[in-house]
């Protein structure tokens, strides 16, 4: 029952109250009552939004030639200057804005140190839907994925509505197909792949509730499952080792995991130990030739760290001099291996579902690149990829590695090429879920492999 200016003074206090009281002229209040747009000012400066005093710019000078009822939000915002808004204030403003104002607000949020979240984007998408701005809505969806903002079914439905109203039929169909691929319950999560590697979007299209949003990389506090019985898969070697080490604690938290001994994972994931495993099993002929002395290497050859992914610190060496220079600078920090360069534009990756070394299921992707001599992904472009079969004798060799390492259990992959004479050459194995599974294996095939995992590992 108290007057509004007393309420503001008691809640905001300090400089904020003084600035607000400056706005409380009688004529200002009369105009505010006559205009719905004036409610935006309270959304920004209202007492319920100010838990504690915040710096506020002085009130704008009164301009009789510019009636308040004609003020746009942009004019109000620019006149009052930058304010450290609470997210709730931004939500209110976004909900009341047209599509142009909403897009501008997303930029203003970043300038003020607030990262727009799912709610912010969904409100902006709603504004685009009302205006029929399909291309702008589609671009917001792409931006959400690019900036790793949780993109939900609400965002897609708003964007689809915007495309339909704006008669952007191809964009509407594209977004509808993607949302349909998420499955009948797009919010249900049955599998988590960690750590996050920007694989979430292609994984969701498998339609079985698999996500890639957990940041846990094997270090620090163990993650909590969204519900008891959710699967956890590693996407990096360090995480695979951590899952093996903390298997009991993860299961106690409610995770379902498939793993094996730490030693088995290390033999397959460390490239130097993988070579030693091949020697112990009499399978050295299936690997590139390894050079223990740089003076005996055949150039060009490849130098890479024993541990690592994505071709980091991996080089094609063209001379002994270059090899010794790289070895000097990199060898001080990392254990290096030097091996034969297998040429050819085609490379293969086969993902496997295994139980104690036995292969239960597999899927192979063939990649074609624009060079014969390369180390992916460094200075090479992918021309295309396709799903291909795997010969029985090649699967048998992979199984010998898996059994010989101690009986691997879980999802892994092998990367390999073929020599000109048709011999298969494995240059690494990865005891974790790979990028081929996330991106390139046909989604129905990936869905089938996860269904088989559910069946075998109940």
Q: DSSP characters for 147-211?
A: TT----HHHHHHHHHHHHHTT-HHHHHHHHHHHHHT-S-TT---EEEES--S-HHHHHTTSS-EE
Confidence (pLDDT) at 378: 86
Confidence (pLDDT) at 312: 80
Q: From CA 225, how far away is CA 212, in angstroms rounded?
A: 13
Half-sphere exposure (Cβ direction) of 309: Cα atoms closer than 13 Å: 15
- Token readout for 264 is 């088995």
Q: Which residues pair with 232 in a beta bridge?
A: 192
End-to-end CA distance of the chain: 62
Confidence (pLDDT) at 75: 46
Q: From CA 47, how far away is CA 5, in angstroms rounded?
A: 9
Quickly tell me which residue has 């964007």 as its tokens.
Answer: 159
Phi-psi map region of 357: left, alpha, beta (phi>0 left; psi -120 to 50 alpha): left
Task: Give the H/E segment covering residue 163.
Answer: helix 153-165
Q: From CA 346, how far away is CA 388, in angstroms rounded?
A: 12
Q: From CA 180, how far away is CA 2, in angstroms rounded?
A: 53
Confidence (pLDDT) at 331: 65
Q: From CA 168, how far away is CA 165, in angstroms rounded?
A: 8
Quickly tell me which residue has 């297998």 as its tokens.
Answer: 342
Chain centroid to CA 82: how far? 32
Confidence (pLDDT) at 21: 37
Chain centroid to CA 195: how far? 9
Q: Would you say 294 and 331 are in contact if contact means Cβ atoms under 8 Å apart?
A: no
Burial 336-350 (b: 16+ CB within 10 A, else e): bbbbbbbebeebbbb
Confidence (pLDDT) at 30: 44
Confidence (pLDDT) at 333: 58
Long-range contacts of 325-330 (CB under 8 A, 24+ apart): 327/294, 327/303, 330/303, 330/305
pLDDT tens across the length of the chain (458 residues)? 444 444 434 433 444 333 333 434 444 444 444 444 434 333 334 433 334 433 333 334 444 444 433 434 444 444 434 443 467 788 989 999 999 999 999 999 988 888 899 999 999 999 999 999 999 999 999 999 999 999 999 999 999 999 999 999 999 999 999 999 999 999 999 999 999 999 999 999 999 999 999 999 999 999 999 999 999 999 999 999 999 999 999 999 999 999 999 999 999 999 999 999 999 999 999 999 999 889 899 999 999 988 877 778 889 999 999 988 888 877 665 788 899 999 999 999 999 999 999 999 999 999 999 999 999 888 899 999 999 999 999 999 999 999 999 999 999 999 999 999 999 999 999 999 999 999 999 999 999 999 999 999 87
Confidence (pLDDT) at 6: 45
Q: From CA 259, how far away is CA 393, in angstroms rounded?
A: 26
Q: Measuring CA to CA, which residue among 371, 31, 434, 452 is closest to residue 202?
A: 434
- Token readout for 122 is 């969904």
Whole-model pTM: value is: 0.78
């Amino acid at each position: 029952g108290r007057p509004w200016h007393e309420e503001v003074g008691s809640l905001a206090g300090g400089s904020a109250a003084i600035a607000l009281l400056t706005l409380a002229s009688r004529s200002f209040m009369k105009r505010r009552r006559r205009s719905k747009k004036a409610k935006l000012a309270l959304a920004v400066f209202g007492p319920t939004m100010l838990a504690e005093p915040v710096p506020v710019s002085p009130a704008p000078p009164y301009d009789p030639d510019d009636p308040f009822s004609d003020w746009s939000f942009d004019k109000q915002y620019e006149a009052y200057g930058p304010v450290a808004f609470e997210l709730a204030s931004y939500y209110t403003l976004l909900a009341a804005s047209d599509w142009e104002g909403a897009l501008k607000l997303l930029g203003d949020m970043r300038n003020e140190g607030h990262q727009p979240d799912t709610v912010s984007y969904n409100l902006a998408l709603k504004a685009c839907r009302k205006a029929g701005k399909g291309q702008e809505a589609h671009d917001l969806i792409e931006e959400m994925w690019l900036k790793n903002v949780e993109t939900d079914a609400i965002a897609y439905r708003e964007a689809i509505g915007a495309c339909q109203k704006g008669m952007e039929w191809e964009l509407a169909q594209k977004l509808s197909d993607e949302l349909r691929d998420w499955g009948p319950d797009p919010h249900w999560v049955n599998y988590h792949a960690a750590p996050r590697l920007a694989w979430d979007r292609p994984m969701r299209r498998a339609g079985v509730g698999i996500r890639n949003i957990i940041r846990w990389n094997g270090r620090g506090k163990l993650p909590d499952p969204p519900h008891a019985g959710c699967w956890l898969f590693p996407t990096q070697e360090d995480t695979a080792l951590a899952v093996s080490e903390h298997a009991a604690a993860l299961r106690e938290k409610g995770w379902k995991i498939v793993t094996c001994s730490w030693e088995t994972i290390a033999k397959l994931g460390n490239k130097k130990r993988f070579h030693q495993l091949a020697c112990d099993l009499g399978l050295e002929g299936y690997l590139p030739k390894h050079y223990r002395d740089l003076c005996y290497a055949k150039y060009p050859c490849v130098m890479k760290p024993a541990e690592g992914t994505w071709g980091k610190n991996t080089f094609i060496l063209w001379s002994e001099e270059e090899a010794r220079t790289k070895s000097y600078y990199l060898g001080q920090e990392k254990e290096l291996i030097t091996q034969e360069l297998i040429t050819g534009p085609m490379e293969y990756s086969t993902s496997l579902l295994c139980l104690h070394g036995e292969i239960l299921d597999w899927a192979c992707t063939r990649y074609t690149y624009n060079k014969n001599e390369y180390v992916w992904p460094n200075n090479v472009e992918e021309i295309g990829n396709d799903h291909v079969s795997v010969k029985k004798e090649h699967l048998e060799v992979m199984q010998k590695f898996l059994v010989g390492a101690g009986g691997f259990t879980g999802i892994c992959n092998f990367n390999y090429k073929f020599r000109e004479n048709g011999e298969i050459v494995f240059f690494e194995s990865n005891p974790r879920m790979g990028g081929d599974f996330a991106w390139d294996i046909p989604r129905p095939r990936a869905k089938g492999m996860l269904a088989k995992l559910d069946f075998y590992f109940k």
